[in-house]
Structure 1
Amino acid sequence: MRHIAWIAGAAAAALVAAGAITYASAENDGSATRVPAADSADAGFAQDMAVHHAQAVEMSFIVRDLTSDKDVRLLAYDITQTQAAQRGMLLGWLDLWGLPKTSSLPPMTWMGMGDMPPGKDGALMPGMATNTELRKLGSLKGKQAEILYLQLMTAHHKGGVHMAEGCVATCTVGPEKRLAQSMVDSQRSEIQLMAGMLKERGARPR
């Protein structure tokens, strides 16, 4: 698990500079140069979604070694590449803003959900898998690993879409709002794809 986390962390770190450059050059109306407040939706979304994405990358690395199914492995590869890149952009923006990579506030405070019960067993935000579920995924192989991965990732995407929609509605930085909208569109599409993949395996989303 530590090796997986190191790979994901290294990929994100390598993309921080690219994210910063993208952010700095993306806007001509001045919004890209405004520094959001530490308690803003822009900052909260970047901090929370970076954590959320890290787990999606971790789950995708886990399942890659548990199945030989080309469709599941391709999906896991796509999710790993996409979400590691997006995480790098989010962390790059936080670095540009001079804000910490993680928030001292409860998760989802920026969405008005900071008073929700603390996450259980490592599931810090809606849709995130618990530590027990991650251990179970790592113990399975073949079809059973595929099914659990698709179920966990479907729930994870639904939580991610909810968060991204919150940023689209409340964030003020143009590049970040557009990134959030791209997350909504791509993850909704992948939710539909995974529903079909689960059906092929005689299962359904949780």
Structure 2
Amino acid sequence: MDKPAKKTLLAACAVLVLAAAAFLLLARDGTPGDTSPEAGFARDMATHHAQAVDMSFVIRDESQAREIRNLAFDIINTQSNQRGMFLGWLEQWGLTQAGDQPPMAWMSGHPHGGSAQAATGAGTMPGMASPQELARLKELKGAEAEVLFLQLMIRHHEGGVEMAEGVLKLSKRDEVVRMAQKIIQGQSGEIKLMTDLLRKRGAEPLPSILK
């Protein structure tokens, strides 16, 4: 092989190496890191959804009202599926289901449910029911259980909306943005439905945690 051909081959190889390196760098940089808003949102929302599913199973087994059982069924299915997607993202991104950061650290410097914590004493994620509230829900029967479930789930949904709105300010990643928008739309609609169901039972929602 003559010198011009060797130079051409070496130049081509160099271009390929640089292209491969650039591709790997972009792919790595394009994947959310362990402390990213996307990872924090996925982890926290998976935990948040798990509690909503648990509460919905409680009322589904207790209530005889068709509209309450249908609502519980919808929440169980929707939020179980979404939770699976959150955990799938983490696996796809090469991250563990539990990170080293405390809950809601991904929204550091942004409002993230201080009003919810004051209202519930539950600690970290907005809208979460306290252990005492969950125990009471399991003890109540009939209409009293339905009212408490609706009150707790409205506040829980408000927390979910707050978290989804928070990640929209911090992430431009397509699947995260689409999911956050879906959560805001779906849970806002269910908040209206549950408020109507409460009023039919002569009750009102707990004080809103949304600003």
TM class, shorter-length: 0.7 to 0.9
* Count of aligned residue pairs for this structure pair: 175
* 8 A Cα contact 1:42 1:172, kept in partner: no
* 8 A Cα contact 1:48 1:102, kept in partner: no
User: What TM-score do the two structures reach when normalised by structure 2?
Assistant: 0.77
In structure 1, C-alpha distance between the alignment counterparts of 2:91 and 2:109, rounded to whole Å: 25
The structural deviation recorded for 1:121 is 6.7
Residue from 75, 83, 86 that aligns with 2:82: 86
Asked if 1:104 is matched to 2:104, the reply is: no
In structure 2, C-alpha distance between the alignment counterparts of 1:150 and 1:37, rounded to whole Å: 36
- Which stretch shifts more, 145-154 or 98-107? 98-107
Q: Which amino acid is 2:133 matched to?
A: E
Q: Which amino acid is 1:85 matched to?
A: N
The structure, 1 or 2, with the larger RCO (C-alpha pairs under 8 Å, 6+ apart) is 1
In structure 1, C-alpha distance between the alignment counterparts of 2:122 and 2:164, rounded to whole Å: 21
Q: Which amino acid is 1:197 matched to?
A: L
Structure 1 segments of 4 or more deviating over 4 A?
Answer: 113-117, 119-123
Fraction of identical pairs, as percent: 47
Q: Summarize the Cα distance change of 1:136–1:182 in structure 2 as closer, same or farther, 3 Å threshold.
A: same
In structure 2, C-alpha distance between the alignment counterparts of 1:160 and 1:103, rounded to whole Å: 20
The structural deviation recorded for 1:116 is 8.4
The structural deviation recorded for 1:34 is 2.9
Asked if 1:46 is matched to 2:42, the reply is: yes
In structure 2, C-alpha distance between the alignment counterparts of 1:93 and 1:150, rounded to whole Å: 30
User: What TM-score do the two structures reach when normalised by structure 1?
Assistant: 0.79
Stretches of structure 1 lacking an aligned partner (at least 5 in a row): 1-29
Q: Over aligned residues, Cα RMSD in angstroms?
A: 2.2
Stretches of structure 2 lacking an aligned partner (at least 5 in a row): 1-25, 207-211
Higher Cα radius of gyration: 2
The structural deviation recorded for 1:199 is 0.3
Match of residue 180 from structure 1: 180
What does the per-residue CA deviation read over 1:170-204, in whole Å, with 9 as the maximum and x for residues that have no partner? 12320111011100001011111111000000000
The structural deviation recorded for 1:106 is 1.5
